[in-house]
Amino acid sequence: MKVLLAVPPGIEKLELYRVLGLKAPPLGLAWIAAVLERAGHKVRIIDSPTEGIDLKTFINEVKAWNPDVVGLTALTPTIYKAYEAAKAIKEYDKDLPVIMGGPHVTFMYEEALSNNVDVVVRGEGEYTTLELINTMEKVGFEPEHFKQIRGLVFKLGDQVIRTPDRPPIRNLDELPWPARHLLPMDKYTLFNKPIKFIHVMASRGCPYGCTFCSTSYFWGRMIRYRSAKDVADEIEDAVNKYKTNIIVFTDDEFTLGKRFVYEFLRELDERKLDINFSCGSRVDTIDKEMMLALKSHGCTALYFGVESASQDTINRIGKKISLERAVKVFQWAKEVKIDHVGSFVLGFPWETIDDMKATVKFAIKLNPTYAQFTVATPYPGTPLYYEALSNNLIEDWNWEHYTTLRAVMRGFKFTKEQAQKMLSWAYVHYYGRLSFLIHELVHGRFGTIMSAIKNSLVPWFMEHLLRGSGE
Ligand code: SF4
């Protein structure tokens, strides 16, 4: 089968991508592509925003390549663009099957089926997509035959058929590495800078199930690691092919598996692999010794979700960390001299404005290299979504606004607009500190941070401050 997989056109215009100047490789599509290629299918990936492909050009590419099936991926804020692409595909050829996967449609599959999507692939997509394509190759687009495939939703006549969940892939090493050869690897950017880097995912899932985060609900409420050898093999291969040693681990909680971490560092030693990497961590799964070990093997930055200054809120969202531990770990990071990013969420339903201010003040006390503030966003499929829904808190149903940079719900004691203002207040208070600006100047990053602020953040803040003041 000829399978065209695509990131839909137009998402580069969305707020999230404009603000961050972000073009990141679609690792999920590349993994599915690798599994399909291994099974003998002919696959092409179009990463539309990265390749500068608009909807018209995309459809011309579809016509020219003439695939048997098109697969689209989308997140909640990019879902309308994916539906637009699906509609345009159907206008070109109503019989060309459109399949869609990703966290949004995994939970909002009926919405997808009413928007020109023929089949939704729920959750981990590799084997579900492979079985679907193999079945279509044998019998054509015959939904009756899709009933045996776990992890799908499709229509049979007027009936919506949701097949049972597919169990998670136990041994991730059995997957081939993502098909990076199908991606425009030299075109990815951050803050609009063409930085050559390789995204790698060493694990999937998370056991914590925090109420605002879709990781546990999409990948499963447990963590599955690849072997350290397989990850190191992939990195070695990619470093040689793409001539960069910058690795970004996309894992949410890279340091959760202590044994994996030390085995991976041993693999780097044995291969004399000189890389720079950053990874996500938790304050309760790392100690100073691990930080030192990571740093000495090229780790330049650690990302920690602290989320709140209130232990009660941390307990309510299921994060299962303590504030004392966060203080200790951020102190270690400073002693070890490793860049560390703290993530903080404002606007959980039960919070007050003072609670949000306390979180910003706590961030300033922790003083990470960079702080990321977001507003609590009820992503479909998360417990926060169901809580917000049942309490009628959601005021903005435009999925494009579900970026965590824009408030879409009110709380019990604050309005949506107040949550939005608090987000701007947080950034201004954190990054407006003289001590922070001097630190950036001393470390030679003042230019970079100022141009990022000038190019992206300031216009965005201004826009939102103006909106917040009713203009
Ligand atoms: S926020 Fe982190 S710890 Fe919580 S569920 Fe998501 S990935 Fe897991």
Instruction: Please give the pLDDT value at position 21.
Output: 63
The span from the CA of 211 to the CA of 387, in Å, is: 9
Best residue for ligand 1 mutational test, from 211, 253, 377 (most atoms within 8 Å of Cβ):
253
Give distance in angstroms: CA of 221 to centre of ligand 1. 10
Question: Where does residue 22 rank: exposed (0-12), middle (13-18), buried (19+ CB within 10 A)?
Answer: middle
Question: Rounded to 5 degrees, what angle do the CA atoms 293, 299, 300 make?
Answer: 130
Give distance in angstroms: CA of 210 to centre of ligand 1. 5
114 Cβ neighbours under 8 A, 6+ residues apart = none
Instruction: Please give the pLDDT value at position 436.
Output: 77
Q: Which residue is associated with the tokens 């995994």?
A: 106
Ligand 1 atom nearest 320 alpha carbon: 3
Confidence of residue 439 (pLDDT cuts 50, 70, 90): confident
Give the single-character DSSP code of 412: S
Residue 440 has pLDDT above 50, yes or no: yes
Instruction: Please give the pLDDT value at position 458.
Output: 43
Give the single-character DSSP code of 456: I
The pTM of the full predicted model, rounded to 2 decimals, is 0.92
Instruction: Please give the pLDDT value at position 455.
Output: 47
Measured from CB, residues less than 6 Å from any atom of ligand 1 are 206, 208-210, 213, 215-216, 252-253, 305, 319
Instruction: Please give the pLDDT value at position 188.
Output: 86
The span from the CA of 355 to the CA of 287, in Å, is: 29
Q: Tens digits of per-residue pLDDT, 73-85?
A: 999 999 999 999 9
Give distance in angstroms: CA of 389 to centre of ligand 1. 21
Residue 453 has pLDDT above 80, yes or no: no
Q: Which residue is associated with the tokens 């499929």?
A: 381
Q: Tens digits of per-residue pLDDT, 380-404?
A: 999 999 999 999 999 999 999 999 9
- Average pLDDT (15-31) is 79
Which percentage of the chain shows pLDDT scores above 70? 92
Best residue for ligand 1 mutational test, from 249, 319, 320, 372 (most atoms within 8 Å of Cβ):
319
Question: Where does residue 447 rank: exposed (0-12), middle (13-18), buried (19+ CB within 10 A)?
Answer: exposed
Q: Tens digits of per-residue pLDDT, 270-291?
A: 999 999 999 999 999 999 999 9
Give distance in angstroms: CA of 213 to centre of ligand 1. 6
Give distance in angstroms: CA of 148 to centre of ligand 1. 32
Q: What does pLDDT average to over the chain?
A: 92
Confidence of residue 97 (pLDDT cuts 50, 70, 90): very high
Would you state the structure tokens that stand for residue 272, as one six-digit string?
Answer: 């004399």
Best residue for ligand 1 mutational test, from 216, 222, 250, 345 (most atoms within 8 Å of Cβ):
216
Best residue for ligand 1 mutational test, from 252, 314, 404 (most atoms within 8 Å of Cβ):
252
Confidence of residue 31 (pLDDT cuts 50, 70, 90): very high
95 Cβ neighbours under 8 A, 6+ residues apart = 141
Instruction: Please give the pLDDT value at position 468.
Output: 34
- Average pLDDT (322-347) is 97
The span from the CA of 287 to the CA of 126, in Å, is: 35
Confidence of residue 441 (pLDDT cuts 50, 70, 90): confident
Confidence of residue 434 (pLDDT cuts 50, 70, 90): confident
Q: Which H helix or E strand runs over 154?
A: strand 152-156
- Average pLDDT (165-192) is 92
Residue 191 has pLDDT above 90, yes or no: no
Confidence of residue 190 (pLDDT cuts 50, 70, 90): low
372 Cβ neighbours under 8 A, 6+ residues apart = 341, 342, 343, 344
Residue 343 has pLDDT above 70, yes or no: yes
Would you state the structure tokens that stand for residue 256, as one six-digit string?
Answer: 């959760």
Which percentage of the chain shows pLDDT scores above 90? 84
150, 166 contact by CB (below 8 A):
yes
Confidence of residue 17 (pLDDT cuts 50, 70, 90): low
**Whose alpha carbon is nearest atom 6 of ligand 1?**
213
Residue 460 has pLDDT above 80, yes or no: no
